[in-house]
A and B are shown apart, each in its own frame.
Chain A
Amino acid sequence: MANHRVWGVNMSERRDVIVGIGGAAGDGVASAGNNLALMCARQGIGIFAYNSYQSVIRGGHSWFRIRASNTQPQSVGDRVDLLIALNQDCLDRHLQEVHPGGVVLYNSSKLKLPHAPPKDVQVCALPLEELVPEAGKLTIMQNTVALGAVIQLMGLPLEGIEKLIEQAYGKKGEEVVRSNRAAARAGFDRAKESLVPIDSPLTPGGKPLAWIIGNQALAYGGALAGVKLYVAYPMSPATGVLHWMAKHARRLGICARQVEDEIAVINMAIGASHVGVRAMCATSGGGFALMSEAIGFAAMIETPVVVINVQRAGPSTGVPTKTEQGDLNQAVGASQGDLQRIIVAPTSIEDACHTIPEVFNLAERHQLPVIVLSDLLISEGGTTVPPETLDFEPVIDRGELITEAPADIDPAASYLRYRVTESGVSPRAIPGVPGHLFVAASDEQDEDGVLISDVYTDPVIRKKMVDKRARKMVGVLRDIPAPALEGPTDAQVTLLGWGSTRGVIAEAAKRLTDEGITANHLQIKFLVPFHAAEVSAIIESAQKTISVENSESGQFARHLRAETGLSVDGHIRKYDGEPFEPKHIVEGVKAVLRGDEVVRVLSTEPGWRSEHPPVATGPTGTRTH
């Protein structure tokens, strides 16, 4: 190789840089990652980030990956080009993963390379004691040094980090700002001087982008939709929504409260919604299980409510800081009886922000609960977006809501809260409005709200009211868009996914097509109700269908089968806690084409020497069942 290193093996293909920052909780991994993402965003560089961490306050292992590109990346990718190791453990685990052409950066005053770096990987030793003698025991300064070095390698200007330092430490006084600036510059210079130069594919200086985390997008979407009551009980990975709401509540005129448990949460949201407030709550799988009974209650009394379930795998605690699409069954089966719900899974962080206002309208138009299924990939992932895509005024459609009594109200005419209509939707008065008294009940009730549950049980009325509520789903289906196939219709392979995996599946489909296996892609956002006719037509005309999901048992494939009566030809399943990377899907498709029916993939490369991740079997991180 000449005196000019290239990113990866084939420079013409390289359009992005993937940075991995690892350390223990408390080492400042997330803040370093956020700062780097923010610096890129301010330079108009597109970012997709994902933080794999442990739910311990100190210790554990945090692994923050940032993919930076001139165009918006849709997944975290499947390499590490630049490794920032903040502790020895990170160096031990991840050194082996650094891609040819990449660089490993670490504080050589404190850490040691555990083994020789992989082929064509440069070492950027950043001895803190030597570079910033005044740092003394403040090892956190190593983060600033490393960020300085890494932005040099990425081709970002030094001013970006200087501005961040001022913003972050301005309040702590001039001295702190000065020493951090010196640290950043020392790192920047050391990278420049000590390494064979690297051509970064990034072209900074574009229009600044906004940098947003999924839970912020959900919360912001709620605020845009007009949420006025947000109640929650802390549970990772949904707590970010509560934090955002609590922080902004006063300024936005939102009441945000932490309450005693998730049963209280959902019932409070229903109570508020019943009196006419747009109310939202978010939790994770275990909390959602506690909400189950009340979701049926909302459906029964026809009170809209929006519940976000940031799925986690397993009961409290399960694997709380890992990603999984494990609660589809739970959402579909939540609550008792045969009651209505909408289940929607945003397909990206940006989509999450648009989905919330959209589903509030659906909830209010059709007077029923909406379950939003997010996961760690969306909720704690980060992305850049053009700021103007966040600056929108959503349509607000409250449906048939009676908020004041008409002047000419006939006091003798009785208001029927549950009037039987063709659409199944009955005009909804909110308590406080004169002339519309009614009692809503979890018991079955007639059109006027009078109970028929026990003493008056009447099969004719019961059927009439069940039918009325059920009819609403016809209208919902009409209101939601049918999913559309992306890519060539005559592709050899059709990939089917749902919710958060849209970006990574799309990227894999493109890569497959580039490699000569033409692939198209169907991503389902609305799980209930389901556009069965359209999806069936797509499946029936596909050559080979493969479902891709973060679930062991194939909940999504089963849902597809339940809704369409059709089975897919192959399954790619991942449930090791880490999100799909494009290569997992590409390899999985190849395995299906070779004849495997179910391919279970793992985020591990064969031959990796440390425990992270554990040793895999099978080709390139895939393991067939």
Chain B
Amino acid sequence: MTTAHLDLKPKDYRSEVPPDWCPGCGDFGVLNALQRACADLSIAPHEILVVSGIGCSSNLPGFFRSYGLHSLHGRSLPVATGARLGNHDLHVIAVGGDGDGYGIGMGHLFHSMRRNINLTYIVMDNEIYGLTTGQISPTSLTGMKTKTTPEGNLEPPANPLLVALAAGCHFVARGYSGDQKQLVEIIKQGLQHPGFALIDVFSPCVTFNRVNTYDFFKERVKRLEDMGHDSADHMAAIEQARIWGDVIPIGIFYQSPDPRPAIDDQDPALQGEPLVHRELGLSAEQRRQLIHEMM
């Protein structure tokens, strides 16, 4: 869908409800970057549907002026998929946290990437469960002490980027809430990608995560574009996605130069006008044929 060029500003995507995140929460940066990206791409607010799950990060639709759907914990992707299948003229953006997307919702994430439904998924990854006041998440580092791991986390963190690269996702990126410039660019690229785009964003929880702080990331994150990474190279993307230590790469890991067609572009029943605009019911001829099959 193309919108006649509108002169949209980030403030046009600001809802009347002020975010109730803790002051300094990384999610503010993600909200700002998303508002800027949508303004830059001139997407009218009523043509956007932001779908979230449950978590501090999943409260984002309430603070973003567009259509919003704040769904169940872990279920943003199937809800967003249904919305997109129902109306492929909408820009459907799914957002949520690491617990929402990589914990309870991991099954849906894997299949959404494999299926390649055309939507953009932004995960505000704070390596903790924020809303439920500080328990480990699937991306929490080994050894991390939280309320549920008083002796330290025994499990290694999940690597969502490697999962995405294995699942056939053709747009795999990681941003950092503290690097607005790059984050806006990543989101814009993701929104324009003709298929499923996964954008993991380091979004520090200043209240419950004392390990993965702004200082932690500031010392380590390094832009892929400054390291000469070729985002069209799948193997190079895998190599970069494995790096975690003194240097943590951020940027677009993989953006296929030849993206495979999204499911919404392939399903014969979805070609032409969106399902929502189709006439309901069956024609007399369709009924006649169907009844004929039963005789």
Contacts and interface: CB of A to CB of B under 8 A. Distances in A.
Given A271-B51, A391-B287, 6 more contacts: A224-B287, A228-B275, A273-B82, A274-B79, A396-B281, A451-B70
19 contacts: A208-B295, A228-B86, A228-B276, A229-B85, A259-B111, A260-B108, A264-B81, A267-B79, A268-B78, A275-B82, A275-B83, A278-B280, A396-B281, A431-B90, A432-B90, A434-B46, A437-B65, A439-B68, A442-B54
B268 to A, nearest CB: 5
Given A226-B280, A272-B86, A275-B49, A387 B269 contact: no
A224 B291 CA distance: 12
Contacts of A63: none
A436 B65 CA distance: 11
A89 B181 CA distance: 75
B83 A267 contact: no
B46 A432 contact: yes
Interface residues of A, number: 74
B93 to A, nearest CB: 12
B240 interface: no
Contacts of A252: 282, 286
A111 interface: no
Interface residues of B, number: 58
B82 to A, nearest CB: 3
Contacts of A257: 85, 267
A294 B82 contact: no
Nearest 10 pairs between A and B by C-beta? A226-B280, A271-B82, A439-B68, A268-B82, A272-B86, A267-B78, A441-B70, A431-B67, A277-B86, A272-B82
Interface in A404-454: 430-443, 449-451
Interface stretch (A210-218, A539-547, A554-562): A210-218
Interface string B179-192: 00000000000000
Given A267-B82, A271-B51, A216 B294 contact: yes
B268 A276 contact: no
A188 interface: no
Interface of B: 15, 17, 20, 44-47, 49, 51, 54, 59, 61-62, 65-72, 75, 77-87, 89-90, 107-108, 111, 115, 267-270, 275-276, 278-282, 284, 286-288, 290-291, 294-295
Given A41-B295, A268-B85, A391-B291, A435 B46 contact: yes
A390 B89 CA distance: 34
A231 B66 contact: no
A293 interface: yes
Contacts of B267: 255, 257
A268 B269 contact: no
A505 B204 CA distance: 64
A270 B80 CA distance: 9
B87 A224 contact: no
A297 interface: yes
A442 B275 contact: no
A297 B71 contact: yes
Contacts of B67: 431-432, 437-439
A128 B33 CA distance: 77
Nearest to A278: B280
A533 interface: no
Contact of A396 (B70, B111, B280): B280
A248 B90 contact: no
A267 B94 CA distance: 13
B79 A270 contact: yes
A227 to B, nearest CB: 9
A447 to B, nearest CB: 14
Contacts of A154: none
A277 B275 contact: yes
A228 B278 CA distance: 8
